[in-house]
Amino acid sequence: MADASIANGAPSRPRYGSMSRDRAWALRWSYFFLVLFAIFFLMPPVYMLITSLKTSAEISAATNPWWISNPTLQNYIDLLSQNQFLVFFRNSAIVSICVVILTMMISVIAAFALARMKFWGSATLATGVFLTYLIPETLLFIPLFKMFAWVNETFGVQLMNHWWTMIILYPTLTVPFATWIMIGYFASIPKELDEAALIDGATWMQTLTKIFIPVALPGIIAATIFTFTVAWAQFLYPLAFTTSTSELVLPVGIITTLIKGDVFNWGQIMTGALLGAAPPLIIYAFLMDYYIAGLTAGATKG
């Protein structure tokens, strides 16, 4: 019996060899395309970095755009010594953090209710939440103007031209999607887990805070990253609803203050864009480790 199996095994060995050759080629191809994509997507930020280290004179001169003859940090010094850039940065930071907190508070609880408490109309509501996400903000900002005007007339509260209005506005984009992600995560948690908690004497709120949130932590982090990115990069609403320099957030601030008429201050625009891209990058880099650790920890369903 043992002899037979060895004899059978021998001729099949070259076949394993050819399989590993296939695999090696597959790997080579994947590396080829991955490197290609990496170069393609890294080109703009590298170009931004290079441009941000040049003087205005060098940028406008017809020299090699990929080479810096006289590297300078002047753009960074100029930008960071301008008070308004720091104001934009602060506005963006406060808005983004508040939006993340608000979004997560609403969407985690909403998702838990929609995923687990079967109440009348819960399925329709869940679909409704998703449909809300499908409406683009370009369709919404004109009705929002009307609403703001109505609020101003009725309650005397001026919502136009305030950075904090963004804290109310952005969740209209982030809550539906974050809720949708969380519904998916909560739905993947076995039903028996909340039944066990129910028998153990946990209330719905305790089941959410002591079981669901810790188990769905990877999902919550994913939703947090998404929400922060959307809030940080949101351009249309602040462009439409804020005008005073002190009320601008970073993306709009850079565009409106550094482009004067048809004069583009490219060095400072690139510097501002790079500095503006830094916080999400740092958050990704920091949370990604945690995200992966969270994934493996939560993967085992008891």
Task: Please write down the HEC assignment for all residues of 202-261.
Answer: CCHHHHHHHHHHHHCHHHHHHHHHHHHHHHHHCCHHHHHHCCCHHHCCHHHHHHHHHEEC
Q: Which two tokens stand for residue 82?
A: 């301008």
Please report how close the Cβ of residue 104 comes to other proteins at its closest, in angstroms.
18
53 binds other proteins (CB under 8 A): no
198 binds other proteins (CB under 8 A): yes
**Which residue, 33 or 290, is less far from other proteins as judged by CB?**
290
298 binds other proteins (CB under 8 A): yes
**Which residue, 71 or 190, is less far from other proteins as judged by CB?**
190
**Which residue, 205 or 281, is less far from other proteins as judged by CB?**
205
* Cα–Cα distance measured from residue 47 to residue 134, given in angstroms and rounded to the nearest whole number: 34
Number of residues in contact with other proteins under rule CB under 8 A: 22
DSSP state of 163: T
Instruction: Report in angstroms the alpha-carbon separations of 95 from 17, 26, 53, 62, 75.
Output: 57, 45, 29, 41, 26
Please report how close the Cβ of residue 120 comes to other proteins at its closest, in angstroms.
15
**Which residue, 169 or 216, is less far from other proteins as judged by CB?**
216
Please report how close the Cβ of residue 170 comes to other proteins at its closest, in angstroms.
31
143 binds other proteins (CB under 8 A): no
DSSP state of 42: H
Q: Which of residues 205-224 bind other proteins (CB under 8 A)?
A: 206, 210-211, 214-215
CB under 8 A, 24+ apart: contacts of 68-74: 74/267
Q: Which of 93, 69, 95 is nearest to 171 (CA)?
A: 95
292 binds other proteins (CB under 8 A): no
Please report how close the Cβ of residue 116 comes to other proteins at its closest, in angstroms.
13
Length of the chain: 302
Please report how close the Cβ of residue 113 comes to other proteins at its closest, in angstroms.
18
261 binds other proteins (CB under 8 A): no
Which region holds residue 202: left if phi is over 0, alpha if psi is between -120 and 50, else beta? beta
**Which residue, 115 or 270, is less far from other proteins as judged by CB?**
115
Q: Which stretch binds other proteins (CB under 8 A): 111-119, 155-163, 188-196, 268-276?
A: 188-196
Please report how close the Cβ of residue 203 comes to other proteins at its closest, in angstroms.
9
* Cα–Cα distance measured from residue 22 to residue 20, given in angstroms and rounded to the nearest whole number: 5
SS3 label, residue 263: strand
**Which residue ranges make up the site for other proteins (CB under 8 A)?**
190, 192-193, 195-202, 206, 210-211, 214-215, 297-302
